[in-house]
Structure 1
Amino acid sequence: MSASVLLAVVVLYFALLLAVAWWTSRRADNDSFFIGNRNSHWALVAFGMIGTSLSGVTFISVPGSVGSGAFSYFQIMLGQVAGYAVVAFVLLPLYYRMQLSSIYRYLGDRLGLAAHRTGAGFFILSRTLGATARLYLVVRILQDLVLAQFGMPFWLSALLVLVMILLYTLEGGVKTIVWTDTLQTTGMLGGLVICVIFLLHAMGLDLGSGWQAMRAAGLAEVFVTDPMSASHWGKQFLAGAAIAIAMTGLDQEMMQKNISVKRLADAQKNMMVMAAIMTVVVLLFLFLGGLLSLYAAQQGITAHGDRLFPAVVMEHLPAWVQLIFVVALISALFPSADGAITALTSSTCIDLIGLQQRQDWDEARKRRVRKTVHLGYAALFLLLTLGFRWLDDPSMVNLILKLAGYTYGPLLGLFAFGILTRRRLRAGVLPWIALAAPALCWAVDAHQATFFGDYRMGLELLLVNAALTFGGLWAGSRPPAAYPHAKAA
C-alpha cells in the first residue's frame, strides 16, 4: 500500500480524535482536566485503561518476544491479576475515603510534605521515562513505514505526533482521555483480532491446529521451572503483582482515571473487569506472536523481536491488512502518551506547585500555569524520544520493565510503609533513603554473578528495591509514641 494512503489514514484518525476532544472539552475547567469532574462511567474507564496498560509496546514487543521466550510473559500477567485485586480492594478504598485528586497526597498526610513530593517526583520520573520509551517505539515504526518515504526526519515525525497529542489533550484532560482511550482501545484490539484471523487463514490453520503447531515448535511453553532462571514462574508472578500495584495502583495516570468514577464500587468493578479483559487480550497477543514466528519460519523472514510484526505485515501481507495494522498501531500510540502527559501535568500542578491550594490565583491564572506545564512536558517528551532513538534497544518491553524496577520501587516501599506501619519518619532522612535504595539495586544488578553465582535476578528487582526502601524507612523512623504531638495517620 502506498505511503500516501497510509498517511491519509493517520490524518483522518487524528481528525476523529480532535472531534471527540472538541465534544468532550466544552465547558471544561481544571477539575475536568484533573479528575473528569468525578463523573466518568466505569465501563468506559475500564475499557479505555486496557489501551493505556497495553500501549504500543505490548502491541509490538509482546508478540515479538514469543520467538525467544515462548508464552513466558503470561507468568507476569497472572501475577498482575493478583496485583489488580490489591489495587481494587486496598488502595482504591483509601483514595476514595480521602477524596484525593492526586494519590500522592496520601503520603503527605501520612508521612509529611517530603514524602508527598518524593512520591510525586518518582512518579514523574517513572512515567516520563516509560511513556517516552513507548512513544519512541511506535513513532519509529510509523517513521519506517510511512513518514520516511516523504523525506521526513525522525525528529520532525516525533514533533508532529506530539503536536497532535497536545491539540486534543490541552483543554479537556481526563474528561477527554476517557473517551479517546475507548476509541483507541477499540482500534488496537480490532487490529489484533483481524491479524490473528488472517494469519490463521494464510497458513491454513484454525485456533486448535495453530496452538498445536506452536506447541510442536516449542513456542507455547508458559511456565519456566528452573529456579536459577530470571524467568522462573515464581519470580515472574511476584514481579507481575508488584508491577500491577506499582504501575497501576501507585501511578497517578492510571488512578487519575479510576478516581474520576463517582462511586468506589464502580471503580472497583472497573479494575477487576479490566484485569479479566487484560488476561484474555495478553493471551491473544501471545498467540499472535506464535503465529508470526510460524509464518516467519515458513517464509524465511529473518526479522525478530520488535521488528518481526511490522516486517511480516508490511512486506508479506495484503494492502488491506497493512491498513488495519497502521490503524491499530496509531491506536496503540496515542494512549501511551496522551494520558502520561495529562497525568504528569496534574501531578506537577497539584503535588509540586500546589495549584489547588493557591487561593491567591484565579481560575484563569491556574489554567495558564497548567497549560504551560503541559507544553513543557511535551517538549521534554520530544527530547527523550530522540534519546531513545539514539539508544534503540531491540526489545523495548524489557527495557521499560527494567526502568520500572528502579523508579517504581521507592514508590512501592513508601506506600507499603505508610499503610502497613504506624511509625513516623525522622526529619531529613527520606531523600537519602529514596536515592540509596535504587543505587543499591543497581549495584546488586550489575554484579549478580559475584553475589549469586548462577542465580539470576529478573523483574523481582522491583520488589528488592521496595524492600530496601521499606527497610531504610523503618530504620529512619520511630514509633508514634516518640512523636506525641504528631498528627495521627
Structure 2
Amino acid sequence: MNPTIVLSVIGIYFLILILISQLTSKNANTSTFFTADKQSPWYLVAFGMIGASLSGVTFISVPGWVADSKFSYMQMVLGNLVGYAVIGLVLMPMYYRLNLVSIYTYLEQRFGFWSYKTGAFFFLLSRTIGASFRLFLVAGVLQIALFDAWNIPFAVTVAITILLIWLYTFRGGIKTIVWTDTLQTLFILAAVAISIWLIKDRLDLSTGALINTIEQSEYSQMFFWDLKDGKNFFKQFLAGAFISIVMMGLDQDMMQKHLTCRNLKDAQKNIFWFSVVFAFVNLLFLGLGAMLYIYAEQSGIAIPANSDDLYPVLALNNFSTFAGIIFLLGIIAAAYSSADSALTALTTSFCVDFLNFDHKDGKAPRSETSKKKIRQKVHIGFSLLIFLIILVFKAVNDQSVISAIFKVAGYTYGPLLGLYAFGLFFKGKVVDKYTPYVCVAAPVISVILDANSAAWFSGFSFGFFILIVNGFLTLLGLWLISSFSNNAKV
C-alpha cells in the first residue's frame, strides 16, 4: 500500500482521538483521570469494552492461530462467560461496596500491607508485559505498512506508537478512554465485517455458501476431548473462566472502566451485555481466520512462516486499497483501545498503591498541582518501560503473540487468583509478611511443572490450565501460612 495513504489514515485517525481528548479533559483533575468522576453511561462502557478486551492481539493473532488451533479458542470464550458472571455477581458488588479506586486496596483491608503490595506488584508486572506484547503487534504492522518503505528502524516505530498514546491520555485519563474506546470498537467491528465480506466476494460465495465452506473446512473443529492435549475442552473451558476472572475482574486496567459507571446496577448491566456480544465477536474473528487461510490456499498465496503476519500481508499486499485502509483502521483501533487504558491503569495503580495518592499513609494530602506533576512523570515512566520491553520481545519472540500473552498471564495472574480466592471464600487471616514468598514460589513451581509436564506425566500438557494450577498453589500456600486451621466457609 502507498505509504502516503497509510500516513494520511493514521494522521486523521489520531487527530480525531486528540479532539476527543480535548473535549473530555476539560476541567479534568486527578479524580477524573482515575475514575471519570463515576459518570460513565453503562452502555458506552460495555460497547467500548469489546474493543479493549479484543485488542490488536485478537485482531491479528486469533485469525492467524486458526491453522494450529482450529476453532478451539471458542472453548475458552465459552468459559469466559462463566468468568464474567462471577465478576458481575461476586467481585463488582464488593468493589462498589468498598468504593475502591484501586481494586488492590481490598487486599490490604483483608490481609495487610504486604499482601496488598504483592497483589499490586503482580498487576503491574502482568499488565506491563501484556501491554508491551500488544503494542509490539501494532508496531510490527505499522513497520510493514509504512516505516519499512522509508527505512525507519523498528525502535523508532515503537517510540512513535507509544508517543501517540501518551498524547491523548495524559490529561483526561480514564474519562477520555471510555469515549475513545467506543470509537475504536466501532472501527474494529467494521473492519472484521468488511474483511469477511470482501473475501466472500473474492471467492464468489453467497452468505450461506460462506458459512458452509467454513463448516466443511479443516479449520472449523471447535471441541477437543483428548485429556493429554493442551486444547482439551475441560482445560480450555476452565482456563477461559479463570482467565476472564483474573484478566478482567482482578485487573485494574479492565475494572477501572467498569467502576466509572454510576452505580453497581449499571456496572452489572454493562458486564452482562458485554459478555454476550464478546462471544459472538470472537466467533466472527475465528471465521475470518478460516476464510483467510481458505482464500490464500485457493489463490496460490504462500502462507507466512509467522501466523501473525497472515492477515496483515493479505490485507496490505493482496487486497484492494480500500480493504487495506479498513484493515489499518481496525488494527490501530484494536491495539490502541487496549494499550491506552493499560497505560492509564498502570499509572493509576502505581500512584494509588505505591505513592499513596489516597493519603492512607497519614501524611498531609498532596495538592492537585503536585498530584498532576507526579502522575505525568509516572505516565512517562511506564511509557519508557513498555518501549524497552517491546524491543526485548522483538529480539526473542518465536511464537504467536496471543499464545505468549496467555502463557505469561498463567504465571503472573496466578498469585492474584489465589489471593482473591482465599480472601473471598476462606475465613481468617494469613501471616501477612510471608505472603510475598508464597506468591513468588507458586509461579516458579508452575513454570517447572509446565516445562516438564510431558516427561513427568506421560505426555500430559497443562496448556492455559497452568493458570488454575498456579492459583491453587498460591491458595495452598496462603492456607499453610494462615492464622487459622479451619478456614473454609460453609
Is the structural similarity TM-score above 0.5? yes
Deviation at 1:10, TM superposition (A): 0.2
Contact persistence 1:249–1:255 (CA under 8 A): yes
Query: Following the alignment from structure 1 to structure 2, what is the Cα–Cα distance between the partners of residues 277 and 359?
Result: 46
Matched to 1:367, the amino acid is K
Larger CA deviation: 359-368 vs 415-424: 359-368
Given candidates 382, 402, 405, the residue that maps to 1:400 is: 405
The alpha-carbon deviation at position 480 of structure 1 amounts to: 9.3
> 1:79 corresponds to which residue?
79
Secondary structure of the residue aligned to 2:333 is helix
Aligned residue for 1:424, secondary structure, equals coil
Alignment of 1:92-103 (within 5 A): 92-103=92-103
Partner of 2:168: 168
1:6-405 paired onto structure 2 within 5 Å: 6-304=6-304, 305-357=307-359, 358-405=363-410
Per-residue displacement from partner, 1:331-373 (whole Å, max 9, x unpaired)? 1121121100100000000011111215342111111111110
Structure 1 CA distance, aligned partners of 2:312 and 2:125? 30
Question: Is 1:472–2:477 an aligned residue pair?
Answer: yes
Q: Using the TM superposition, name which of 167-176 and 213-222 deviates more.
A: 213-222
Q: Report deviation, 1:393.
A: 3.0
CA distance in 2, matches of 1:451, 1:428: 34
Offset, 1:141: 1.0
Amino acid at match of 2:247: M
Q: Any idea what SS the aligned residue of 2:271 has?
A: helix
> What is the alpha-carbon distance in structure 2 between the residues aligned to residue 415 and residue 206 of structure 1?
49
Give 1:188 deviation, angstroms.
1.0
Question: 1: distance between equivalents of 2:217 and 2:30?
Answer: 54
Confirm or deny: 8 A CA contact 1:424 1:480 kept in the other structure: no
TM-score by length of 1: 0.97
User: Any conservation in 1 of the 2:111–2:432 contact (CA below 8 Å)?
Assistant: no
Q: Quote the Cα distance in structure 1 between the aligned partners of 2:479 and 2:370.
A: 41
Report if the CA contact (8 A) 1:393-1:399 is conserved. Answer: no
Counterpart contact for 1:404–1:462, Cα < 8 Å: yes
Inter-partner Cα distance in structure 2 for 1:150 and 1:274: 41
Pair 1:463-2:465 in alignment: no
Matches of 2:394 and 2:271, distance apart in 1:
34
CA offsets 1:424-476 (integer angstroms, 9 cap, x no match): 11242111101100000011011112321122111110000000000000000
Tell me what 1:409 maps to: 414
1:487 paired residue number: none
Q: Does the CA-based 8 Å contact 1:303-1:311 persist in structure 2?
A: no
Residue 443 of structure 1, aligned match among 448, 451, 463: 448
- For 1:68 and 1:342, the matched residues in 2 are separated by 34
Deviations 1:358-398 (A, max 9, x none): 53421111111111101100110111111111123331000
The amino acid across from 1:396 in the alignment is: V
RMSD in angstroms over aligned alpha carbons?
Answer: 1.3
Q: Give the deviation of 1:86 after TM superposition.
A: 0.3
Supply the distance in 2 between the matched residues of 1:369 and 1:140 (Cα, whole angstroms): 32
How far has the Cα of 1:481 moved from its partner? 10
1: CA distance, partners of 2:185 / 2:79 = 23
**2:463 aligned counterpart, secondary structure:** coil
Tell me if structure 2 keeps the 8 A contact 1:56–1:134: yes
| Counterpart code for 2:199 | L
C-alpha separation in 2, matches of 1:32 and 1:128: 23
Q: Distance in 1 between matches of 2:276 and 2:154?
A: 37
Q: Distance in 2 between matches of 1:114 and 1:427?
A: 6
Distance in 2 (alpha carbons) for counterparts of 1:41 and 1:430:
38
Per-residue deviation, 1:268? 0.5
Q: 1:172 offset after TM fit, Å?
A: 0.4
Identity of aligned residues (%): 42
* Cα distance change, pair 194–422 in 1 and its aligned pair in 2 (3 A): same
Give, as a single letter, the amino acid of the residue that structure 2 aligns with 1:368.
K
Q: Which moved more, 1:274-283 or 1:384-393?
A: 384-393
Residue type of the alignment partner of 1:73 = Y
CA distance in 2, matches of 1:270, 1:155: 38
CA distance in 2: counterparts of 1:420 and 1:329, whole angstroms: 40
Superposed CA offset, 1:313-346 (max 9, x none): 1221111111111111111121121100100000
Match of 1:485 in 2: none
TM-score (normalizing by structure 2): 0.97
Distance 1:380 1:415 in 2: 28
For 1:256, the aligned partner's letter is Q
Using the alignment, how far apart are the partners of 1:300 and 1:120 within structure 2?
50
Deviations 1:392-416 (Å, cap 9, x if unpaired)? 3331000000000000000000000
1:73-127 alpha-carbon deviations (Å, 9 max, x no partner): 1000000011000000000000000000010010010000111111100000000
Contact 1:422 1:480 in 2 (8 A): no
Letter in 2 for 1:158: V
1:132–1:476 CA distance, 2 compared to 1 (3 A): same
Cα distance in 2 for partners of 1:322, 1:194 equals: 11
In 2, Cα distance between equivalents of 1:37 and 1:175: 8
Q: Which 4+ runs in 1 deviate beyond 4 A?
A: none
Q: Partner amino acid for 2:42?
A: W
What amino acid does structure 2 have at the position aligned with 1:77?
Answer: V
